[in-house]
Every structure is written in C-alpha cells, then in structure tokens.
Structure 1
Amino acid sequence: MQAQNSAINFLKIEQDSVKKSFFLKQIGNGYFPTKYFDFDLRYLVKYNQFEGLRTGLGGVTNKNFSEKYKINGYTVYGFRDDAYKFSIGGSVRLSESTNTWLNLSYTDDLQETGSSKFLTDTRFFQFFEPRLLNIDLFHRHITQAISIAHKFHPKLSTETQFSSSNVEPTYNYVFNLDGEQFNKFQFTTATLSMQWSPFSQFRIADNVYKNIKEGYPKFTLQYSRSIKDVLKGDFNFSKLDFKTIHRHLHKNKNVSEFTLVSGIARGDVPLTHLYHAYPNNINKETILQRFSVAGITSFETMFFNEFFSDKFTTVQLKHFLKPFNISQRYKPQLVLISRFAIGDINNPERHENISFGSLRKGYTESGFEINKLLFGFGLSFTYRYGGYHLPNFEDNIAFKFTFNLTL
C-alpha cells in the first residue's frame, strides 16, 4: 500500500510539473492560457509617442475549443489619440498533415510608417518592447484580408494573402504623383511569402511534423504586388523582400549571429510603404536626453524618420560571449555588435511635407552590450561612423539600457 501511495504521489508531482512547465512556456510565448481561450499579453500595456498609453485585451481560442477552428481578436485604446483600435479574425484548418489553414481578418489599427513584416515569420514576444516607446510616425489602416498558410515540406512554409486596405497617415503628408495629390490611399495587394529552413530537424508525431532542432541559416522571401483599379486600388507597385539569419555556436560556447535584410520597391510607392532601417534614436539634443532602451535588431544611433528608401540592405553582426559565471544566478553577458545599412530612393520630390535623407553613402555603427546586470537590465553603447558621421561628436553616440528576460 505504501509503495502504491508513493507511486500515486510521484505521478501527481510529475503531472503538476508538466502543467507548470506548459504554463511557463505559454507565458514566455506571450499567452496567458485558460481552458478555451489564451489571452495575448502583447495587448495589455504598450506606449508610443502618438497613442501615449495603449491598453486592451486580445487573444485566440486554443485546442480545447477546437483543433480545426480558431477565433482571434483584440481591442485596444490609446489615451493620447483618444481612439479605439480592433481586429477580429478566424481560421479553419484544411489539412492537418500539411498544416494548411484558411484565414480571414478585419483590422482597424495603426502601423508604423516604413515598417514591413514577413507573413511567414514566427511569433515573437517580448515582455518589454523598447523601440515602441519612441515611434511617432504612424498611419491608420482598415484592412480586410484572406490568406492560406501551407507547408509544402516541413522545411518550407508558405503563406499567400490577398488584402484590401484604406490607409490614412496620422501626420501631414502628401504623395504627389504626376500632379495628382494623395493624402489618403487605397491599396489592393497580393502577397506570397516563403520561409525555408534547410538545416532544421523534424520528426513525425501524431501524423504531424514537429520541429526538434532549429537549424541555420534560415531564408525568407516575400513578393507583394499592389494593383491599381482592382477594388479601388490607387497605385501599381511591387515589393520584393529577403531575409536570412545564421547562428553559429563556437566550441568555447560563444555564439555569432548574422542577419541580412533587403528589400526593393518598384512603381508608385507612397511613404507609408517605403522602407526604413529600424532606427531607434530619439531626436533630442544631448546624450542623456536620448537615453532610453536599446532594441534587438534596431540601429541605435540612427534617428527616427532620418532615412527612407525604396531599396535597401541591412547587415547586423552580433557576437555573444559566454556569460560570466559570477554566481549561480548572476551571469552577465557581453555582446559585440556591428551594423551596416545602404539604400537609396527614386523621386524623393514626390513625398511632400516631410524631409528625410537617403542611405546611398552607407550607414555604419558599432558597439557593445552588457546584458543581465540587474533584474534583466543591462547597458548598451553604440557609435556612429563612416558616411553619415555627424559633426557634433556627441550626436554619434547612443548610450542606453538593455532589457533581456527569460523564463
């Protein structure tokens, strides 16, 4: 009897441990799980220069609700612009073995001007997104979209999307196209995105491929086409975007990471759909006034809205030294960083009421981070040099906090 009770207690402890591990994993992925619905922690609290404090609720149904259907959505409120934003969507699984989903969505929200994302990018969550604090150039969009996500192979994921968007900049901007002036835009866009992970490893479990080891490099390619006069689209243009990430683990447990992002846009492209290089420097006079929090992949010395391009390439190199083993819990880490960006823009005169430069001379910055000094916080120092070195020495320096927290 005693042996039986011990076995029962052991199983109970193991089950509790599995539940705790699952809960922490979900929290780390940005979800607070409940029985049928997982709340998305990304929508709880954020801050930016246009909305001020932004808060709300959102989430998605989980497998207990259905393994074939998903319902997702969110609603948020910005206190400074005094406006609600929301999104509602649904998905239906067409094939389990190829993880094929048909998705529908309706979104009324803000997007940072010059930003772009890949449809096939996996979800990325940070408890604290530092770069968002200082963004001030947004456009509002109302977008209806339908897409199909499909795995042709465990190592090749694709998503195809067709969308229609009404876009209105929140700032004073005019796109002058052959004498016709636009301050609001309608886009009808078809997009194909592919992500190839040739060195990742998979195994079959319950008739579904599970990723058991992330392999590098990874490659992502995306083509978008905006079509004029279809569903009232205003412009013809195309965009081709590429990204590759490579990580190498050295024998001494140092890690080197290489990231290349490139894009080219051709046709009649308003500022909202051009590229920036993810700047993260505040337009303030002194180093201390610009003191904020460093991002993960942003250019720390590049000022917000300083450059826009219709063709660009960025290269980022990071070398993570093995953490300093000061104690069991205290292990700060030194990271060496170098970033480079180059780009250009055709017809800059089309973009009225806003001034910006090009990246044709090549932009370079280098520096280091010392992470996890105290409660996940660290320090970052970056220096701007090369073609866009500024006359005032202090303007080339970015000194910031870093924040890294893992569960």
Structure 2
Amino acid sequence: MTRTFLFIFAFFCFTEATAQFIIEGKVTDAETGDPIPFASVLVKGTTQGMNTDFEGNYSLNVKSLSDSLVVSYIGYLTLAKPLEKQAEQTINFQLRPSDLQLEAFVFEAGENPAFDIIRKAVAKKEDFDKRSLMAYETNNYTKIEIDIDHVSEEFALRKSVQKVTSVLDSIKQLTNDEGEKILPVFFSETLSKFYYRNNPELRKEIVEKSRVTGVGITDGSTTSQITGSVFQEYNFYKNWLTILEKDFVSPIAEGWKAYYDYDLLDSVLVGQDSCYKLQVYPRREQDLAFAGTIWINKETYALKQVDLTIPKEVNLNFVERIKIQQELLPTSAGPLIPKKSRILIKIGQVTPKTAGMLAKFYTSSDSVRLEEAKPTSFFNQSVVLKEDFNTGTEEFWIQNRQDPLSSEELAVLQMVDTLKKIPIVRFFSEGLKFFATGYLKHGKVDVGPWPGFFNYNNVEGVRLGMGFRTNLDFSNKWLLKAYGAYGFKDDRFKYSASVTRILDRVHWSTVSISTQKEIDQVGLEISSLEGNSIFLAASRFGTLRRPYLTTNHKLNFQREIFKGFLFNASGTYAKFDPLYDFYFLDKDTRDYRSKFETLEARFSVRYGRDEIIIINDNERVSFGPAKWPIVQVDYARGFNALGGDLSYDKLKFYLYQRLNMGMLGVSRYELDAGKIFGEVPYPIFKNHLGNETLFYTTAAFNTMNFNEFASDQYVSLRYRHFFEGFLLNKIPLIKKLKWRGVANANVLFGSVRDANISNVPDMDPDGNPLETFGRLDPQKPYVELGYGIENIFKFFRVDFFHRMTYLDSPEAKPFAVKISAQIIL
C-alpha cells in the first residue's frame, strides 16, 4: 500500500515536472489593429519566451508558468496579462504606442560598437541589393485597407455621419480596447506577377486577379493598376527611399554617419540566422529619416528585417505616423528580395472636429525566379490587367491568397460593402469625384467639365457651357468628346468635338480627329492647357489678353514605339481671326492683313526612360519619372498651300528632371528651347508667358508682364529648389512651425530676326497705333530670382521675386510678391 502510494506520488511529481503548457496568441497595435512583428513575449520571472513572427503571432511551449505573460517592444508601452493554470490558453495583446526618445546613447570610451556593424553592412551593399540582379520574377500578393479613424464626438454627432453609423451595426466589431471607432472605406486584394530587369532598369506587373471594394469606386480597372506591388516597393539598399513624394535617407545609406546614431541592443536568433539587433535614431529630429530597429546578419552583414517609423517630429504635414516593417529573403544569387512588407500611414485630423485617416499596405512575395532578362518591349506598359482580372470568386481567394484574412479584415470587407450602398455616402463620394475630375459619371457618359459651365469675361460677357465624354462602359476602343458654349455679349456659339479610336492598348496607339471653334488668347493657347480644365476655365474670366477667334480641324496619331518612347504625328488646319487690333505684312501681296490661316504638319517624340504609365479608362496617365529626365523634341512644318497662308518650320526641345540633392532637398529643372524658320506674324512666335496676378505659377515668368516679350528663337531654364526644412529646421522657433524654404531662378535668352520684325506695323491702315511685341536683346538674358517660404499654416506659400534685368522699361516691376495655396505633406 505504501509502495503504491509512493509510486502514484512519484508519477504525479514527474508529470508535473515534465508538463508542457501551450500559450499562443497575437500582438497587435491598439490604434491600428495591425500586427506587431518581432515583439518580445516572455513568461514573467523566467527565461522562457520568443519573438512574434511577421504576422504578430506567437506560440510558446513552456514547462512552468508564473503569474503573468509580458509583451514588450521598442516604441510601445509594455503590457502584462495574467496566466491561468491551464494546459492550453490563448492570450492576445494590443500594445499602445509610446513617445520614442530619440536621444542617442553616449559612449564614454572608444567607438560606438554599432558603427563597425553599419560600416560593414554598407560595404556589402552591392552584394545584397536586388538591383544587382540582371532579372527576376516573383508572384506577389498585395492588400490595401483605408480607414477613417479618430472619429471625434463632434464628427460622430453630425447628421450626415449619424445616417451612416446607424446603418453600420457591425461598427462595434472594429474598435480598439478603448472603444475608438474605425470606419473602413476601402479594401483591395491583388494577385500579380512582378518582373524586373536591369540595364536599363525596368519593372512590370501583370495583375492576374484583383478584388476592389470601396466608397466611390465605380470601376476597378483603373484602381487595380495602382493597388498592386509596383507602387509598394521599398528597397533599403537604396540611399534614398521615396515615400509620399518625399525622399527619406536609408539607415544603411552612404554617408550614414551624417544622419543617424545607432545602439547595439542585443544578438538574437531570427529564424536560423544569428543577427545583430540595432536601434536607429535620427541625429536631427526633423530630418527625413527613420527611427526604429534593424536586424543585420552576424555572418554576412545582410539586412534580415526592419521595423522603422518616421517620427512625429519630422517636417511633414498631417502625417502622424509612417511605419515600415519588412522581412527579407536571400535569393540563390545572393541579393535580397523583400518577402513580406507592411506599410502604415496615419493621417491626423485637419481640425479637432474632423476625422483622421489610416492607410495600410501589405505585400508578400513567393516563387522567386532568377530568369534571363526579358526584352525591353515586354516592359512597354508598367501595369497590365488580364482580361478576367476581376472574376475571382470567394473560394478562389481563399485558395490562392498567400496569407489568410484575419477576422478583423473579414469584418472590414463586410462593412465596406455595406457602406458604399448607403445613399448619402454615394452622394458625397460622387460629389467629391465630380469636383476633383471635373466630370460626373452618368451611365456610359461623363458630364462636364464643371469649370466650363459658367465663365465671365470682357469679350463674351456671361458664358454658359456644357459637355460630355464617353467612358469605359461605352467602349474600350472608342472615346467621344463634345463641348458647347455660348457667350451672351459677343452672341457667338463655341464648340469642340473629337473622336478617338484606340488601336492598341499595350503599345499605346490611337488615332483621333477633332474640330473646334473657340476664343483663344495669344501666348495662352488652349492647346497648352489641355488636361487642366480648372486653369483653362480661370483663363476665361476677367479681361482676355489679345483674344482671337480660332477655328481648327486636326488629325492626330500617336504610338508608343518601345518602353517610354512615344511618337506623335498630326495635321492641323486653323484660322486666326483677331478680336483686337492686329495687322501683319503679307510679303506676297505687300498688303497688311489682320487674318490668316495655317496648314501645319507636326511630328514629335517623347522619351521617359523610367516613367511610370497607367491606362486610366481610355486615357494614358503618367506618374512621372523616378530618376531619369523626360526629353521631348517637336518639329512642325507650315505650308503655303491648300488654304494655308504661311510657310515656316518650327523646332522645339524640352527637358525635365527631378534631382534628389540629399540633405539639401529636391530640385526640379525645365529646359525649353525653340526656333522658327521663315517669316511669320508674331502670334506664331513663342509669346513668353508673364504673370501680372497676385498668384504664383510655375508656368510663367513671375515678374514679366503679359505679352511683354516674344521670340522666334529662344532658350529658357527654370530651376526650382525645395529645401524640405534644411536650414530652417535648425532655428529653434521656426522649426516648430515647420516652415520650408524654396528658391527659384528663371533665365530666358531670346531674339527676333529682322525679317520678322518688319512684318509688324506700328500703325493700322487708318493711322491708329497697334499693339506689337517686345523683343529681347540676344546678348542680354531676362533673369529673375526668387525665394520664399512654403508650408505656412500647412497650406500657404509666399514667394518674393526680383527682376534682375530689363529694368529700364516704364512698366517693369523690379520686385513682386506672389502667394499660393497648396496641400503638401
């Protein structure tokens, strides 16, 4: 009996000693609901613990329990939760962000040990930068969620908002621990194949399946092109990363010591790799730099994973937080490919009575293949949609998405589908799109543009107009446009109409025919304002400068020959009928005429090596270049035949580039040059655009008067620099205001040949003085220099311009102050 009791007692003691307790759960951000990878999970008072994976999950098998489980991570408040004496239990944590102290650690003697690690990591950059691969392909999965957060009481009590929240019973499912409501408005998933090649550096994404749901989203084809992975690429092996059109310096950039301090926290095991864990600090709190943690392989000095945040002190508007988490995977050739990336952008409230916004981007890649480089022609279009890209069923997504959706994300999908059907939400979303694009969708046509509905000027008086264009629901091969307007003072009807046939959507090819009768202004032609309906409408208000009635007919063809290289050819017949006193000398008849007609053939080529292009319904849209310049060359020939009165040749050259100047900021320059061969009246010249208004514009010389100068041969350089807080960040009082310095330099050389000067008389046939044109001295450039402050109260900009030359004119303005309003981050 005693031996039996001792045996049973020993058995229970042995079982207790060897028992396994399983604790699992997930660690998320309490404000955003996003997973927190790499967080430390520890049984209090023991050495039993682990780090969460990239999805924030953990699973502990421990032999003994204490009273609580503790989770900690840099930048968050540590949180503990009680443990139960149970074999299996699930404990989830929601951590709240803390204010991260950015002061660097001080080392009493010797060099900071983290510096040697960073130095070796930078020296090995070329070994691990994916840009050193000749070509690779990946299968990508991307999901994007956009939410409204910071729903204040004042905002929630608005009648329009109450109509929404009363319908959304499921809103209670999407709150954090403190009950702060999150209102999702957009959710997308994309499966795609991503292709990369080097020399030249090109990218392409083929969207195989896409599911887009959101408030105001009426057609997924355009949205699906920008929700893939091609726009969610973050490579920390670059010196600078572009985020929200701002350039942030990488923690392993060349010259890292000028931007960052580091602290070696620990040596940890990440997967099978032993890594250094380093904390990163910006040296100056308002620099465009990161704070957070990076892990570097102890053996190879390659980046293993990063968890970086852009601090609140950075000189950005409205952005409360930007967080980037990334896990990298080595390829068989050595360079690293991001396996998983998560980006969070938190936009704060503009005013206390409004709401904020939260955007979440997640991309994962698998099936990395190192292939031979595909031909350049393969990359003609940056983003391509497969024909059946939006036909995936729910079962398809469950089987094919690389990562399952969480319960919160499933609730988001349900809520967005409900939200977009609410009448008041549809009304406001459609109204916002109407204001932004100028057009209101109505079935197969879009009505607009609204800036052309009403205008008022000295020539037309009250002007009323209306137009329409067809959309993708009408056809993906035909685009029809029409617009009509009537001026009650001049009693004239104006119109424009065009028909475009899309021949090829891959090698973008179109042919179009158009006709127009409209009032135009010398030096401010409608053709130069195409695509900017708001600015075009503004030019029709007030006093029109040298107005004329134009009637023209045009045939146009364009085709993208290869990636970035666009060819355009057109033929135009136009009539010039001045509405002001104008005459020119006809050299054939030796008579002075006020009207003329032109017949012109034009050819142009445009090349943007790394320009990103998407197809927006039936139009081609550029997202601009990343690094290389955009070059355009135009040649036009005017014929004195078949109705044309003038014989001439025009040659134009244009160059634009954005330059990253590191800590000094960002520069942009435009080089514009042209020459006219032949004898022509001055409306054919380059009439340099002046600006007599109070408002700043990059398209004009801001101290030049309207129609002050014209040239038949010219070259101009416009240089704009944005200091992005450089210098002003160092002034204690100014840096709190987050003002940013800007600078301008505009230089123009131009002249008019004697043969064209003699074309313009000073008097009309009745002896009355005529308006002519001002000429530049070929040896003396027009120069204006400017400086200013932007980001005043987050919206306003003030520029001060000094006119440096041509000050002897009675109408010259040696100094000008220009203001503008802009929404910038």
For normalisation by structure 2, the TM-score amounts to: 0.43
Amino acid at match of 2:804: Y
Cα gap change, 1:62 to 1:261, in 2 (>3 Å)? same
| Alignment partners' CA distance in 2, 1:276 and 1:262 | 13
Superposed displacement of residue 395, structure 1: 2.7
Sequence identity (%): 22
**Contact 1:312-1:341 within 8 A present in 2 as well:** yes
> Which residue in the other structure is 2:807 paired with?
389
Q: Is the 2:802–2:814 Cα contact (8 Å) retained in structure 1?
A: yes
Matched, 1:305 2:305: no
In structure 2, distance between residues paired with 1:350 and 1:101: 39
Structure 2 residue 754 is the aligned partner of structure 1 residue 356: no
**CA pair 393-100 structure 1, distance change in 2 beyond 3 A:** closer
Q: Do 1:152 and 1:158's aligned partners in 2 also have CA atoms closer than 8 Å?
A: yes
Amino acid at match of 2:799: S
Structure 1 residue identity aligned to 2:741: L
Q: Which has the higher helix share?
A: 2
Which string of whole-angstrom CA distances, capped at 9 and with x for unpartnered residues, describes residues 115-151 of structure 1?
Answer: 56888x9834656977766651122110111111211
Q: Once the 2 structures are TM-superposed, how far is the Cα of residue 304 of structure 1 from its aligned partner?
A: 1.2
Deviation at 1:227, TM superposition (A): 0.6
Residue from 726, 743, 747 that aligns with 1:340? 747
1:168 Cα deviation from its structure 2 partner:
0.7
CA spacing shift, 1:305–1:76, aligned 2, 3 Å: same
1:370 aligned partner: 789
Which of 657, 666, 672 aligns to 1:255? It is 666
CA RMSD of aligned residues (A): 3.9
Asked if the contact 2:613–2:623 (Cα under 8 Å) also holds between the matched residues in 1, the reply is: yes
Taking a change above 3 Å as real, the CA distance of residues 42 and 270 of structure 1, as seen in their structure-2 partners, is farther
1:189-218 residue CA offsets vs partner (Å, 9 max, x unmatched) = 11112211023256999xx99967623310
1:276 and 2:687 matched: yes
Q: Does structure 1 retain, via aligned residues, the 8 Å contact 2:703–2:802?
A: yes
- Residues 13 and 188 (structure 1), Cα distance of their counterparts in 2 relative to 1, 3 Å cut: farther
Change (3 A) 1:131 1:202: closer
Instruction: Kindly indicate whether the alpha-carbon contact (under 8 Å) linking 1:131 and 1:280 is maintained by their aligned counterparts in 2.
Output: no
Contact 1:240/1:264, CA 8 A, preserved across alignment? yes
Counterpart-to-counterpart distance in 2, 1:59 and 1:204:
20
Decide which of 492, 517, 520 is 1:108's aligned counterpart.
517
The CA deviation string for residues 332-383 of structure 1, in whole angstroms up to 9 with x for no partner, is 5432111011111123121122232212221011112434535844322211
Q: Paired residue for 1:288?
A: none
Partner of 2:245: none
* Unpaired stretches in structure 2, ≥5 consecutive residues: 1-172, 174-404, 421-425, 762-769
Q: How far apart, CA to CA, are the structure 1 residues paired with 2:551 and 2:515?
A: 7
Change (3 A) 1:263 1:21: farther
Does the 8 A contact of 1:319 with 1:337 survive in 2? yes
- Structure 2 CA distance for aligned equivalents of residues 142 and 153 of structure 1: 35
Amino acid at match of 1:334: G
Q: Are the equivalent residues in 2 in contact too, given 1:277–1:341 (CA < 8 A)?
A: no
Instruction: Give, in whole Å, the separation in 2 of the partners of 1:396 and 1:4.
Output: 64
What SS is found at the alignment partner of 1:292? coil
**Cα 1:393–1:227, aligned 2, differ >3 Å: closer, same or farther?**
closer
| 1:245 paired to 2:656 | yes
The superposition leaves residues 175-196 of structure 1 with CA deviations (integer Å, 9 ceiling, x where unpaired) of 1033222211111111112211
Question: How many angstroms does 1:53 deviate by?
Answer: 5.8
Matched position secondary structure for 2:813: helix
Q: 1:198 to 1:47 in 2, by over 3 A?
A: farther
Rate the CA distance shift 1:241–1:46 in 2: closer, same or farther, 3 A: farther
* Structure with higher RCO (Cα < 8 A, 6+ apart): 1
TM-score normalised by structure 1 residue count: 0.82
* 1:57, distance to aligned residue in structure 2 (A): 2.6
Partner residue of 1:71 out of 480, 501, 504? 480
- Structure 1 CA distance for aligned equivalents of residues 487 and 791 of structure 2: 31
Task: State the partner residue of 1:86.
Answer: 495
SS in 2 for 1:252: helix
Residue 340 to residue 117, structure 1, CA distance change in 2 (3 Å)? farther
Mapped partners of 1:51, 1:261: distance in 2:
33
Task: Give the alignment partner of residue 598 of structure 2, picking from 175, 179, 187.
Answer: 187
1:227 matched to 2:634: no
Q: Report the Cα offset of residue 302 of structure 1.
A: 0.8
Aligned partner of 1:235: which letter?
L
2:452 and 2:533 in contact (8 A); partners too: no
Question: Which residue in 1 is equivalent to 2:57?
Answer: none
Higher strand share: 1
Residue 302 of structure 1: SS of its match in structure 2? coil
